[in-house]
Every structure is written in structure tokens, then in C-alpha cells.
A and B are shown apart, each in its own frame.
Chain A
Amino acid sequence: MTPEQITLVQSSFERLGPDLPALTALFYQELFQRDPALRPLFTTDMGEQRVKFAQKLAEIIQAIPRLDELLAHTRALGARHVAYGVRATDYQTVGDALYAALAAVLGDEFDAQTREAWILAYNIVAETMLEGAAAARPIGS
């Protein structure tokens, strides 16, 4: 990522402000629509789940400029996701759902440049979560 792209991700996230709950609701809606098989992976209350997601997202976006800090978050997060039964190919679906939710909430502000910046940010998160997942998962599990 370029420094400008990092700024773009952080500023567009800040602009969400009060719309963050709407974003998380839309995100899960988009996700389950894209792949209904992911629904049963979520066993906790969805309200609680949305809050957790919003918190984690905020932490991660905060940490983007400092890779070491980001990795501490994402690797641990990836390792936890192994136990939920998430696979590498699911990460693509998650990303697509996130961009769709952002586009719906941000409207015109989610332009091509912002979208590209988010894709790059999400890729870093996904790759490092998967790294954490790989380290945590024995084959055959």
C-alpha cells in the first residue's frame, strides 16, 4: 500500500461514524447472501457478533500503518478462525461482502480509488490472518 491509500482507508472508515452498525448489519447480510453455507459457522448471538466485528474492524484499521501491531491482531484472529471452520477460499467471499457493504453505506464516497485502497488493506489482513491460521491448524483437523 502507499501512505495515501492507508490514509484513504482510515478517513473513509472515520466518516462511517454513526453508520458503523449499519455497515456491520449489511456486511453479514451480504455475506450470507453470497454463501449461505457460512451462516451455521456463527453460533453466538448475531447482535453480539456484529458488535465484536465492529470493534475488531476499528482496531485493525487503527493498526494498519504499524505492521507489527497489525500482525499481532490479525495472526491471532486468523488462528481463532480455524476453530470456526473457516477456509482460505471463504476470505474472498468475506472481502466481497465487505466492499459491497461499504459501497452501500458510503455511496459516492466509495469511489474507485477508495475501493482499491480497501482491497489492498483487506488483502494484507486476509493474508496475515491465513498465516496465523496455517500455524494453528494441524492437517486433518
Chain B
Amino acid sequence: MLADVVMTLPRWPIVGRRPEIEVFERALGSGERAGLVIYGRAGVGKTRLADECAGQAAASGHPSQRVAGSRTTALLPLGAVAALLPDGLGRLGPDGQVNAVALFEQTRRALHDRHRGRRLVIVADDIALLDVASLALLGYLAAQQAIFLIATVRTGEPVPDLLTDLWRDGRLQRIDLHDLSRAHLDTLLHLALGGPIEAGAGQEFWESSRGNPLYVHELVLGALDSGALVERSGVWHLEDHLPATSRLLDLVEQRIGGLPDEARSVLELLALCQPVELGYLETAAPAGVLESLERAGLVTLAVAEGQVRLAHPLHAKVVRAAMPKLRARTVLLAQAERLEAASSAHGPAELRTAVWRLDAGGRPGPGVLIRSAHLARSTHDFRMVRRLIEAVPSEELDSVAALLLGEALYELGDFDAAERVLAAGQELPSGENVAMRLAVTRAKNAHWGLCRPEEALAINGAAKAVVSSAPLVEELVAHEAAVLTFSGRPDIAMAVLAGITGSDKRTRVVRAIAGAVALAMAGRTAEAVALAQASYADHVALGDELAIAHPATHIVNQVFALTEAGRLAEAGQLARTGAEVVASHRVPIAQIWFAANLARVATLQGRPATARRYYAEAAGLAQANGFAGPRCMALSGLALAHAMLGEPEAAAQALAERAAVPWFGFLGPEQHLADAWAATAAQRPAEAAETFRAAAAEAASTGHRVTESWLLHDLMRTSGEDVSARLRELADVCDSPLVAARARHAGAARARDAQELTGAANDFEALGAMLLAAEAAGGAAAEFSRAGEGRAATAALRRSTALAAACEGASTPALFHLATVNAAAADPLSGREREVVLLAATGMASKDIAERLYLSVRTVNNHLQHAYAKLGVTSRAGLSQALGSAI
């Protein structure tokens, strides 16, 4: 028996890692940890330590299993964890879809049954190479305590989200592995060779390996093989120098390069398809080959599982790299056929063989490709979906596959291709459900991708005519409302939405996508925030269904609603959090929306330089991913930011770029802020005012109340035109304090009421709208000054100046005026006043100041009173603050 033979061979010892193994044992025994992560550079012994831990667990009755990612397994979702999956993988449910969460739970139960409740220890070697779905499954199983995960991560590799999530929750134990010390290396050599080594040889191993355990392993076994390392009278000697290479890879290549053909064939098979059953290898390889490979430390045997694999990932890498493509293809296809002949369809083997066929440049059956695409879809891995469905022969494409591919193409920004695929999909036979989703996805593509909202409405309308079930009709109506809201007609959208009840959860979710935004635009911001918040939870609970946007859409909507509600700081915070999440999920469209919303918030906060940065990011992402509509909006915002920074040429440039893409009507009136401010910056005030008025009129006639208030308020700021009556009306029908503050500002400006202007400045400042606060305070200063209230005027001016200083170099007509007033008042104190004030600011009493300057106390106090008035302070305490800028 081969197994008996190999068991008697000495195992390469593990040295200096016992404390780490005990750390693992405690983590596994404690029940609080979900796993262990081993960090370290290549060859430091991560794999070996992980195996040793698994072996230790096995001795205590914990079953263990290895999963390893590679370029090959990454070709299919769950490719790396195929061995864990129960039979019936990803069979379509009654609704024609694969539910990933259900599959995960089914896997958990199957593992539980298979291992009779004992916690399975999973070794995930090089976890950074696992595909997204495999990581999601392992994360689920670990969180449910169904498995204990041992993951290895090479220093410098990105750490998958799964690990960071578990890490944040304190569920992961971390171990950092380092190279061996000289003493530990010595111990390792002693135990591996079974006796002492002469001093020079020990030193040479140390100098060549610097304590890297895999390096030592390769060196020792290579030297034994070549006869360089020999035993004489119980002592080991080096008869020849060790290979002179500093690269581990070279070392492995040299060793494997010298193997006979039959041994190499076994290594090649393992490199492509490992693990391979021992029983098969025993018949496939000539006698003695496996033993010699194990003795050479190139393969390891898991006797209990009856499986053979290469000893180290690096060995697989080297073997694969040296293998001719045609040979790899032959081996992969032969193994796929062998395994398919021996196992049932829909089992884990199906996935493994599919991976091999793809890797060989061949085609797995369409069934497994489509089921795998569903899985990839459930983790929003659209690149994988596209690759899988494109591998299905076109005559095998059904309507569901067309839907998957069309949606992926749309998400990846290939809108013309999406239109072709979805239109063709509508011609294929399908149930009502799939027909409706094809229509909705195609309409979405027409609207968002191709910027043709009328076409989107037509596609939607045609589908309404052929779908009969009430919930599906309602969903189509909800989508119609979405097209309307996001093409500039929230008023009609609200009317359309009022006609449906939203009886089922899915319809409610779809309804909320349009509804939350339309409500916010109409100034019903509290309802909008609440709706967006609730819908996110509903959407997540729905699971991953086709043809609904990413759940992050609701968070984007919540950010928008919070902004319209004047809750700028909250909006910014939520948008930053959301942006981080979607960046790690690779959802470009959501990244664009978070960036654009961060820019909007910054604009309202009076931080135009920040706005410029975020709008530029959104525009860049939109261009890179082919989203013409969002790009139009981002370019509008970019032009606005440039204009507010007093950069008319750059603003004009952004507007010219915008003119080269199709017009996108979402928030259309708001986009005209850019044209008006660009005219303002270019000193064309009449054109600016006309643009503001026209855009405000458009906003008024299309249900954009909050936007209308923005436009009218800016008209007042730039031209002084009285818009107070309409702003008051808007404030009465909107619940947003931002709209109210604008109305208060306009009313106070009209009445030339300094106190009210101060109140408006307070309101803006409380909302975090610093530029508007600065301008209102500047207005108050002017009115105080006109009324002869010098002290109040100075105080207001100082406040305005301080607020404006926080506005990142914003350049508006009102700030320009403020700067002129400040320049005139640049040095308000007379020489004597300044002397007195300087001494008073040090805390000196009037009497002492009088003595110092040879003045009467009365004169000193007079000077102080005048200086207080000029500086806008009322006491000595305020002096030191005021001194900084006035003296």
C-alpha cells in the first residue's frame, strides 16, 4: 500500500511555531473567534503553519478542509470553494433565480449534517485570490460559527473585505509570521537531517536563506538530491556550494526543472487540478513516483481525505508557468471528462470541471454557466456575469440569460450592446416576470445609459400593455415614475405614483427609488428622508433580485433628501460612508452618485474647492464608465464650482464639455445654476439674471421647489433683485430650514432690516452654509452702518469676514463687496488708540496705562471707547481677539 510507505517517511519538521499553534488552539476552543489570519511574506511558513493547525484540530476531532484560490478558480463564482458545496448547487429556484443567501444556508446545513455538528476547520490559503462569491460564502459560514477559518495573507496583498469585517467585530485572531532566527534555523536543520551539521555548512545555509523556511526547505532537499549535502560518520557536510540565487522562485525552478518526465506529469496534473484523489494517482503514475515526490518535499498527502496536493503554492506557480498551453489544455479537458463521467450533474464536481473547461479555453455546459452567472450577479460581480454569459453559445441563450447579460452590460457602461441584447431578449419566449424585467432593464438603459428618456417611457409603456398581473403592472408604473423623476419631471412622477398602492414589498422598494427623490424635490424632505431610510432596509431584505438597482441607491437618495432638508453635515457624513462601501464593491454608478452628492453638499456649505474636486471625480468616473447622463450633471456642477471660485475660463471649458454630451434632464433647472454663475463670473450680469429667472420658471413648472428657491436666492445674491415674495411662498410649502433661511434672507434684504439679516446669517451658519451666512452677515453690516450703528456694523463685518475665510476662496459679488468695505476699514485705529489698546489687551488697568503714557485716566478711557466701537467689541476681553486683524 502506497499510503503505508509514505507514512514512514519523515515529515519536514516545524520549528519555532508552537506558541502560534497554541494561539490557534485557544482561538478554536474559545468559541468567540471565527477564525485566524496568518500574515507574512512568501515562504515564511504560512501554509505550513495553517496545515499544522488544521492537523492539530483534526487530532481533536475537528474535520478540516482546504480551499485555495488561483487564476483558474477565479474564473467562476464559488470556484475556489466548490468542494464545500452541497449537491444541487445553485439550481434555479421556482422564480427562475439563484438565491445566494439560500445557497449559503443550504451549504451550512449540509456541512453541519456531513460533519455531525462538529465545527469544520477551513484552511484558505492565499485568501486574497478567492473570488468574491467564495469569500462571501466563507464569511457567512464563519459568522454563523459553522466553520473556523484559517486564512493566509501574503504581506502586501490586499486584505479582502470579508477579513476586515470579521476583524472589526473582533472575531479574528491575527498572527504575524517572521523568518526563523539563526538558532531556530539550526534546530530545524538538526531535526530535518537527523543529526549534527558541520559549522561551515550551517553557516552557508543561514547566509543563503536568512531564515526563510521555504528557502531552507528547497535548499536542503535540492542539496540532498544533487549530492551536495552528505552524511559522513553521523555529521552532515556540504561538498559543494549551495545554488547562488537570491530568488526563491529561481530555486524552485531549478529543482523542478531537474525532475524526470513521469514525475513532472504528476506535478503538472496537480498544479492544474489539485487536490487529486490518491486512488487515481496511484493508477495514473508509475510506481514509486509519488513516494519520490513526497520524499523530495514537493507533494503532500492528506491520508484521511485520500487526496494529494502540491506542497506549496509556489510549486504550482512554477509548474504552471513552465507548461506549454496546449499540454495544459489537454490535461484540463481530460480531467474534466474523467470527473464528469464519475459524478452526478449539479454537484460540486460540476463547478470544478466547469472551471477546468474554462481554463482550457473550452466551454462548460450552458446550464452551469447561467447558474454561475446568477451567483456572480448576487455579489454584483458584473464583469464575471458578462464573461460567463458570453461563453454561452448564442443559440443556447434564453431570455433569462439575455436579461443577465443585458443588465451586466448596462452596469458596465456598454449601453449600445445592452440595448441590442435586451431588445433581442424581448423577442425570446419568457414568462411575464422575465418579460417585465427585460422591459424595465431596457428602459433603464435607454434612460440612464443612452440619455433617451422618451424612448424609456415608450419601452415601459409597451410592456404595461402586455403584462397582466397587478403587482407587475404596478412595478412598471413605479419605473415610469423613476424615469420621470430622473429626467426632470418629479411633478408628473408624483401624480403617477399616487395611482398605485405599492401592495407588495418589491413594488414599494421600486416605488421609493423615484418617490424619495420626488418628495425631496417638492420640499417634503422629512418624508423623503424617512422613505429612503426604510427602503434601504426593505431592499436588503428582498435579497438580490434582478432588475432592481443596487441597494446603495436608497442611501444616495437619503443623502439627497438630507441635503434638501438642509442637514448638510449629516448628508456629507452618510455620503462619505456610502462612498467607501461602494468603492470596495466596485459599483461605479454608485461611486459617481456619492461623489456628486458630496460635491452638492460642499457647494451648499460654501466649500467650492471641495465641490470642484468631487465634481471632477464624478465626471471622471462617469466618463471612464461611459455614463453620459451623470457626466452631464457632474460637468454642470464642475462649471458651477469653477464659477464660484472666480475661474470663468475653466467654467466655460466645463460647459463646453457638457455641450458635447447629450443633455440629461435630471435636476435640469439646478444644472442651469452653472450657466448663470459662469455668466456672473465672466461679468455678464444681465445674462446671468436672465438665466436664473428662466431656470427658476422651469423649476416652478416641474415640481422642483427646493431647486427653485436655490435659483431665486442666487438671483438675489448676484443681482439684488427682490424675490422675497416667491421665496416666502416656497418656504410655506416646504419643510426645509434651508428654504426658510433663504426666504428670511430675501425678506430681510428687501426690508433692509439689519437684525433680520443677522438672523438669516445665524440660520445659515447653523445649517453649515457658511458662504450664505457670510453674505447675510455682510448685508447686516451694511444696514447697521447705514443706520449709524457703528459698533454693530463693525461686529457684523468682522463676523462676515471670518465666515468668508472658511469658504475656500469663494468669489461672489457679495464677498467682493465685503472685501472692498474691509479694505477701506483696514486700519481703523489712530496711533494713540492703538497704543492704549495694546496695553489694555495685556490686562493693564486704565490708571496704569495713563501713568505710562502721561495721559489722564479719562483720556485713556475715551480712547478705549472709540477703539471698542471701531473694533466692534464691548469689553477688554474681546480686545485680544479683535487685535489680530485690526492692528
Contact = CB atoms under 8 A, between A and B. Distances in A.
Interface of A: 1-6, 65, 67-68, 87-89, 91, 116, 119-120, 123-124, 127-128, 130-131, 134-135, 137-140
B21 A88 contact: yes
A88 B19 contact: yes
B20 to A, nearest CB: 8
Contacts of A134: 18, 21, 56, 59
A116 B182 CA distance: 11
B196 A6 contact: yes
Contacts of B15: 123, 127
20 contacts: A2-B196, A2-B197, A2-B199, A3-B234, A67-B194, A88-B19, A119-B183, A123-B15, A123-B184, A124-B187, A124-B191, A127-B13, A127-B16, A127-B18, A127-B187, A127-B191, A131-B13, A134-B21, A134-B56, A139-B57
Contacts of B61: 138
B585 interface: no
Given A3-B198, A65-B234, A130-B18, A120 B183 contact: yes
Contacts of B60: 138-140
A3 to B, nearest CB: 5
Interface string B51-90: 0000011011110000000000000000000000000000
B235 interface: yes
A123 B187 contact: yes
Q: Could you say which of B59, B62, B187, B197 has the most chain A C-beta atoms within 10 Å of its C-beta?
A: B187
B202 interface: yes
A67 B195 contact: yes
A93 B57 CA distance: 26
B82 to A, nearest CB: 28
A4 B196 CA distance: 9
B738 to A, nearest CB: 61
Contact of A89 (B19, B57, B191, B196): B19
B130 to A, nearest CB: 26
B59 A138 contact: yes
B383 to A, nearest CB: 41
Given A4-B199, A67-B194, A135-B59, A88 B186 contact: no
B29 A1 contact: no
Contacts of B186: 1, 120, 123
Contact of A124 (B57, B190, B234): B190
Contacts of B19: 87-89
Ranked 6 nearest A-B pairs via Cβ: A88-B18, A139-B60, A138-B60, A130-B18, A123-B187, A140-B29
Interface in B212-270: 234-235
A127 B187 CA distance: 8
A128 B197 CA distance: 18
B22 interface: yes
Nearest to A135: B59
B651 interface: no
Contacts of A130: 18
A67 B190 contact: yes
Which one of A67, A68, A124, A127 has the greatest number of beta carbons of chain B within 10 Å? A127
B237 to A, nearest CB: 11
Judged by DSSP, the binding face of A is helix
B55 to A, nearest CB: 9
Q: Chain B: interface residue count, which band?
A: 20 to 34
A130 B184 CA distance: 14
A40 to B, nearest CB: 19
B674 interface: no
Contacts of B194: 67-68
A5 B567 CA distance: 75
B28 interface: yes
Contacts of B28: 139
B848 interface: no
Nearest to A64: B196
Nearest to A2: B199
Contacts of A87: 19, 22
B25 interface: yes
Contacts of A123: 15, 183-184, 186-187
Contacts of A2: 196-199, 202
Contact of B190 (A1, A68, A119, A137): A1
Given A120-B183, A127-B191, A139 B56 contact: yes
A9 to B, nearest CB: 11
Counting chain A CB atoms within 10 Å of each CB, the highest count among B21, B196, B197 belongs to B196
Contacts of A128: 191
A139 B25 contact: yes
Nearest to B195: A67
Nearest to B233: A3
A132 to B, nearest CB: 11
A106 B22 CA distance: 35
A120 B59 contact: no
Nearest to B189: A1
A103 B22 CA distance: 31
Interface in B18-41: 18-19, 21-22, 25, 28-29
A139 B22 CA distance: 9
Contacts of B198: 2-3
A11 to B, nearest CB: 15
A139 B62 contact: yes
A94 to B, nearest CB: 13
Interface in B836-857: none
A131 B195 CA distance: 17
B887 to A, nearest CB: 66
Nearest to A123: B187
A84 to B, nearest CB: 15
A119 B187 CA distance: 10
A137 B57 CA distance: 10
B10 to A, nearest CB: 11
B196 A88 contact: no
Contacts of B62: 139
Contacts of B56: 134, 139
A134 B18 CA distance: 9
Contacts of A131: 13
Contacts of B199: 2, 4
A76 to B, nearest CB: 17
Given A127-B13, A139-B56, A1 B196 contact: yes
Nearest to A89: B19
A131 B16 CA distance: 11
Contacts of A68: 194
Contacts of A4: 199
A3 B196 contact: yes
Given A65-B196, A67-B190, A127-B191, 11 more contacts: A1-B186, A2-B196, A3-B198, A3-B235, A67-B194, A88-B18, A120-B190, A139-B28, A139-B57, A140-B29, A140-B60
A18 B841 CA distance: 85
A130 B17 CA distance: 10
Interface in B154-209: 183-184, 186-187, 190-191, 194-199, 202
Contacts of B16: 127
A116 B183 CA distance: 9
A1 B18 CA distance: 20
A43 B29 CA distance: 27
A31 B18 CA distance: 20
Contacts of B191: 67, 124, 127-128
Nearest to A67: B194
A124 B186 CA distance: 9
A65 B233 CA distance: 12
A137 B18 CA distance: 13
B53 to A, nearest CB: 10
A4 B200 CA distance: 12
A138 B62 CA distance: 10
Nearest to A125: B187
- For A3, A87, A91, A116, the residue with the greatest tally of chain B CB atoms inside 10 Å of its CB is A3
Contacts of B190: 1, 67, 120, 124
Contacts of A1: 186, 190, 196-197
A113 B523 CA distance: 84
A140 B57 CA distance: 10
